[in-house]
Amino acid sequence: MGTPARVVILPAESSTLRIESLELPDPGPNQVVVKQFASGVCHSQLHQMHAPRKKPVLLGHESTGVVLETGSAVAHVAPGDVVMVTWVPRQAQAETVPPVAASLQLMEGLAISQNVFTWADHTIADQQYVVKVDPNIKTDVTAIIGCAVMTGAGAVINTADVQPNESVAIFGVGGVGLSAVVGARMAGATPIIAVDLDDAKLEFAKRFGATHVINASKEDPVAAIHQLTINNDRFNFAGAPVSGADYAFDCIGIKQTMAQIVAACRNGHFGAHAGGKAVLVGVPTTPAELNAVDLLINEKQFIGSIGGSCSPDRDFQRFLEWEDNGDLALDQMVTERFSIDQINEATDALANGEIAGRAILEF
């Protein structure tokens, strides 16, 4: 017998979301059915909502919940376990079979997902996307670990491997950017420079560890970053003092910011040290136009980070420890809460820039 569920559906022909009451199927051998507590509301879902599609789509990819049922081949969780659902395989290096993305049969046809769907009071997912956690965790705000925290903080500590006293610039301080700020602080980076267009968001970023803030609508962020990071003991290709961030992270993903993170990176010390690394974290919505000469003569690097290069079985425990110790401060990072019936209000607020940190759905 299936599990009754209320699920958010993105129709093929409209960007207005609807909620459908349906029955989830019994789990297959590698599937887990989860009753959910909360789910994050992420910018990448906005991209899905405004992208062309031929089928209805199931949305959401970060949540907390409790296991109701498991398939016959599932060994790492059992009914009653508290879990997180995420869109990255929990230990991809140990798996020999790729996970299967969740889908549901609707009246108008098959609804598909990008691996999982968490905008629902119950969900069904491949076991590789379900991570067992301590049953005593906060079950509301920790929902955003499965994407926002993992993506932002993971980009800093995994992809870039930032070390103490290295300089960091972070473009865009929404939920992912704030998580990157926390990751930089936990790595011992200094300075930690936050760049955004909103003074309120920049002030908010200071709570999480930003040491300097730059409003890119009021000054050139690239010039400001170079001014903050001058090193008179090293010289670039042209003989000028080296400046720029050791690492610059783009948590937005538009043409302008992708170009800016390269320009904001540290120049190479000619013949002695390579330049800085520009890390693309936000989902790109435009092509990138980079200064190839700058990349060449300053030996800079432009790299991507998907899901913070995280292994959820390993990294979620670390992020939960940060939260327990007060370092992550998710109660502050989660600034808005909505019910599933308010899903269109939640996505409108996100699209209009009205979410200071991260929003969640509570079931």
Residue 97: predicted pLDDT: 87
pLDDT of residue 93: 84
Residue range 275-325, pLDDT digits in tens: 999 999 999 989 999 999 999 999 999 999 999 999 999 999 999 999 999
pLDDT of residue 96: 83
- Upper half-sphere CA count for residue 304 (Cβ side, 13 Å): 7
pLDDT at 270: 79
Position 336 scores a pLDDT of 96
pLDDT at 319: 98
pLDDT by residue (tens digit) across 204-215? Answer: 999 999 999 999
Residue 271 has pLDDT above 80, yes or no: no
Residue 90 pLDDT grade (very low, low, confident, very high; cuts 50, 70, 90): very high
CB–CB of 55/110 below 8 Å? yes
Q: How far apart are CA 126 and CA 71, in angstroms?
A: 9
Task: Return the pLDDT at 233.
Answer: 87
CA atoms in the 13 A half-sphere facing the CB of 137 = 30
In sequence order, the 6+-apart residues with CB closer than 8 A to the CB of 276 are: 244, 245, 246, 247, 248, 265, 266, 267, 300, 301
Q: What DSSP assignment string belongs to 175-240?
A: HHHHHHHHHHHHHT-SSEEEEES-HHHHHHHHTTT-SEEEETTTS-HHHHHHHHT-EEEEE-TTSS
Contact 10, 17 (CB under 8 A): yes
**3-49 residue pLDDT tens:** 999 999 999 999 999 999 999 999 999 999 999 999 999 988 998 99
pLDDT computed for residue 244 by the predictor: 97
Distance separating alpha carbons of residues 315 and 93, to the nearest angstrom: 14
d(CA 306, CA 282): 9
Average pLDDT of the chain to the nearest whole number: 95
Residues forming beta bridges with residue 336, ordered by sequence position: 359
Residues 118, 121, 127: CA angle, nearest 5 degrees: 50
pLDDT digits (tens, 9 = 90+) for 136-170: 999 999 999 999 999 999 999 999 999 999 999 99
pLDDT (tens digit per residue) in 214-258: 999 999 999 999 999 999 888 888 888 999 999 999 999 999 999
Confidence grade of residue 92 (pLDDT, cut at 50, 70, 90):
confident
Higher pLDDT, 273 or 338: 338
Using the predicted structure, report yes or no on whether residue 126 has a pLDDT greater than 90: yes
Kind of pairing between the strands at 57-58 and 109-113: parallel
Please, what's the b/e burial string for 228-237 (b: 16 or more CB within 10 A of its CB; e: otherwise)? bbeeeebbbb
**pLDDT at position 355, please?**
92
Domains of the chain: 3-146+329-362 (3.90.180.10), 149-307 (3.40.50.720)
